[in-house]
Amino acid sequence: MDTIRTIDDMQAASAALKRSGRRVALVPTMGALHDGHVALIRQARTQGAAVVVSIYVNPTQFGPHEDFREYPRDMEADSQACGREQVDALFAPSDAEMYPDGPGPLAAPTWVEETVLSRRFEGERRPEHFRGVCTVVAKLFNIVQPDLAVFGQKDYQQLKVVTRMVRDLVYPVQIVAVPTVREPDGLAMSSRNQRLVGTERVQATGLWKALSVARDLFNEGEQNAHRLEAAMQRTVGLAPAARLDYAQVVDGETLEPVAKVQPGNIALIAVHVGRVRLIDNLIL
Amino acid sequence: MDTIRTIDDMQAASAALKRSGRRVALVPTMGALHDGHVALIRQARTQGAAVVVSIYVNPTQFGPHEDFREYPRDMEADSQACGREQVDALFAPSDAEMYPDGPGPLAAPTWVEETVLSRRFEGERRPEHFRGVCTVVAKLFNIVQPDLAVFGQKDYQQLKVVTRMVRDLVYPVQIVAVPTVREPDGLAMSSRNQRLVGTERVQATGLWKALSVARDLFNEGEQNAHRLEAAMQRTVGLAPAARLDYAQVVDGETLEPVAKVQPGNIALIAVHVGRVRLIDNLIL
């Protein structure tokens, strides 16, 4: 497996792959790889493409008071995981490579911004988050020139925002979505789970319990979104270290809240557990 | 010469060219082609690449009270001109193809925006202009996948904004700049010149006269930017149909106004002549 550090080398490697007739699949990650990422990589491999995993903790998608510094990093373990999964190339650029003009507001004068699906939920709580995500994904697409890119459904709003960006800017990239991978107790795999301490890990299952309660109520015939949302809120409230940010049932495409729940709607949830903010979702 | 109307066909044609080992050069235009465009096309051909000319009057770079409707259009003449210049493909999409969700603020939820070089001059007078330009250029790059793209120096700020966008988003596209082509009396070639009526055409030479006065003063040793700017203003004032918008000497890279003029600084000028707004510039 090649580990590639520079944009020039990655663009050249990708161009060479494509000249040889191979399709290229990109799995964009922020590293600290877990079984959720492995599922993305394996999905990419089933597409018969050369698989490029990018590992870059992108500063522009973190707000000034968020966990950019604390975000888990372990390049050695990540590199081994990619080797085990027969990844063709690992693209791991430095900050200086991705933002040569340094940090700060003028680091990247050019932004890519999706302005509709980004508005609510994560975008409301993290005002610059999706602008940072869209910009770095656009850059990664321009660097890796993938034919397809694989994203996890765990970050459902991100998946929809990126899909919309690709459609609006007509990137010749197919977006492939992969279902969320969970721990045996239901907690969605996330690099941020590493940051849970003591009993927070057990209490973090409150997100999945809340989503499961909503799903069960819906399957029993409850169609009132407010009742599902109230049930999610009560469930999260059972964990003393948990503080609910939002729990809402939305349309799966527009991400607009619904009043009457229909199959295919999504229950979205965000919860602070101690100092860690976790998100999850479930298709009803 | 192929005339291509859809994004899918253009992406496929470009991918086929690249698989065959050819480089692709894009000449993005809004049509109503004149000798300035011909110079861009010929420059593209000297690069040994297959030449794709795009013709699209992009609505999102016009403000609500600007000349989108009046902007000259003549596809038949443009197609003939491209044929004469041995263009490989003419990409001429419809509005429905480029903005499938129709006009209006939600037409394109995703925007590409350069936020530093765009601020002054054209960006200040036309607040959404460069956002529209960057977005449509990004789309054209994603559609045509060019190895190089050719822009005229006549739209100097646009050239710098697009160059910055390409650098920030690391598009694998080389930007080639071509000097402004002028009429015998100095008027910079522009599709908008067609809209000048009666004596406005003669009076429009005021832009070039003003730039020439600034150049002559500088060559005679004047380094005070305000004196150059005042001289340009006086020169434009000699034409009764002309109304100066701005005349300023700026740094050629940052586009920041300068006090003491240095070689390589740029004199920028924008003038309303009757109902037509014209811009021009000169490297000092």
Provide ipTM, 2 decimals: 0.95
CB contact under 8 A, B109 and A142: no
Q: Which residues of B touch A22 (CB under 8 A)?
A: none
Q: What is the mean pLDDT of residues A81-107?
A: 89
Q: What is the mean pLDDT of residues A55-69?
A: 94
CB contact under 8 A, A135 and B169: yes
- Closest residue to B7, CB basis, from A117, A139, A170: A170
- Closest residue to A172, CB basis, from B11, B21, B138: B11
Q: What is the mean pLDDT of residues A84-108?
A: 87
Give the DSSP H or E segment for A52: strand A50-55
d(CA A39, CA A41): 5
Measured between CA atoms, the residue of chain B closest to residue A106 is B116
- Closest residue to A171, CB basis, from B114, B142, B164: B142
Question: How far from the centroid of its chain's Cα atoms is residue B6's Cα?
Answer: 23
CB contact under 8 A, B110 and A143: no
Give catalytic status of residue A129 as yes or no: no
Give the DSSP H or E segment for A271: strand A266-273
Residues B27-37: pLDDT tens digits?
999 999 999 99
CB contact under 8 A, B145 and A19: no
Identify the pLDDT of residue B101.
86
Measured between CA atoms, the residue of chain B closest to residue A142 is B171
Does residue B275 register a pLDDT over 70? yes
pTM higher than the cut 0.90: yes
How close A250 comes to chain B (CA, Å)? 19
Candidates B174, B206, B220, B184; CA nearest to B276 is B206
If one counts every other C-beta atom within 10 angstroms of the C-beta of residue B101, the result is: 12
Does residue A107 register a pLDDT over 70? no
CB pairs under 8 A between A and B: 84
The per-residue pLDDT of chain B, averaged, comes to 96
Tokens of residue A268, six digits: 């979205």
Tokens of residue B284, six digits: 């000092």
Q: What is the mean pLDDT of residues B70-78?
A: 96
| Domains defined along chain A, listed by start | 2-178 (3.40.50.620), 191-283 (3.30.1300.10)
| Helix and strand numbers, DSSP H then E, in chain A | 10, 10
Question: How far from the centroid of its chain's Cα atoms is residue B4's Cα?
Answer: 22
A94-to-A28, A55, A247 alpha-carbon distances in Å? 15, 10, 36
Q: Which residues of B touch A165 (CB under 8 A)?
A: 110
CB contact under 8 A, A109 and B171: no
Which of A163, A168, A173, A254 to mutate against chain B (most B CBs within 10 Å)?
Answer: A168
Candidates B57, B43, B52; CA nearest to B22 is B52
A100 Cβ contact partners less than 8 Å away, ≥ 6 residues apart:
none
Does residue A106 register a pLDDT over 70? no
- Closest residue to B115, CB basis, from A111, A139, A170: A111
Q: Which residues of A touch B9 (CB under 8 A)?
A: none
Does residue B107 register a pLDDT over 70? no
Measured between CA atoms, the residue of chain B closest to residue A173 is B142
- Closest residue to A109, CB basis, from B114, B139, B171: B114
Q: What is the mean pLDDT of residues B45-54?
A: 95
d(CA B274, CA B225): 28
∠ CA A217-A220-A224, nearest 5°, is: 55
Whole-number percent of chain B with pLDDT over 70: 98
Q: What is the mean pLDDT of residues A256-261?
A: 98
CB contact under 8 A, B169 and A19: no
Q: Which residues of B touch A6 (CB under 8 A)?
A: none
Candidates B223, B207, B221, B220; CA nearest to B282 is B207
Q: How confident is the model at residue B103 (pLDDT cuts 50, 70, 90)?
A: low
DSSP string, B54-107: EE---GGGS-TTSSTTTS---HHHHHHHHHHTT-SEEE---HHHH-TT-SSTTS
Q: What is the mean pLDDT of residues A112-138?
A: 96
Report the DSSP pairing between strands A242-250 and A266-273.
antiparallel
Measured between CA atoms, the residue of chain B closest to residue A116 is B109
Does residue B263 register a pLDDT over 90? yes
Measured between CA atoms, the residue of chain A closest to residue B6 is A170
Measured CB to CB, residues of chain B less than 8 Å from chain A are 7, 11, 15, 18-19, 21, 106, 108-117, 134-135, 138-139, 142-143, 145, 164-165, 168-172
DSSP reduced 3-state for B131: helix
Identify the pLDDT of residue A20.
86
Measured between CA atoms, the residue of chain B closest to residue A99 is B168
Give the DSSP H or E segment for A236: helix A225-237
A162-166, B45-49, B263-267: segment of lowest average pLDDT:
B45-49
Measured CB to CB, residues of chain A less than 8 Å from chain B are 7, 11, 15, 18-19, 21, 106, 108-117, 134-135, 138-139, 142-143, 145, 164-165, 168-172
Q: Which residues of B touch A168 (CB under 8 A)?
A: 108-110
d(CA A261, CA A266): 9
Helices (H), A72-194: 75-84, 95-98, 122-125, 129-144, 156-168
Q: What is the per-residue burial (b if ≥16 Cβ within 10 Å, else e) of B192-218? A: bbebbeeebbebbbbbbbbbbbbeebb
Q: What is the per-residue burial (b if ≥16 Cβ within 10 Å, else e) of B248-267? A: bbbebeebebbeebeeebbb
Among B34, B37, B65, B226, the one annotated catalytic = B37
B217 Cβ contact partners less than 8 Å away, ≥ 6 residues apart:
B227, B228, B231
DSSP reduced 3-state for B221: coil
CB contact under 8 A, B165 and A108: no
- Closest residue to B169, CB basis, from A11, A15, A138: A138
Identify the pLDDT of residue A105.
55
Candidates A283, A158, A156; CA nearest to A219 is A283
Among A37, A65, A226, A272, the one annotated catalytic = A37
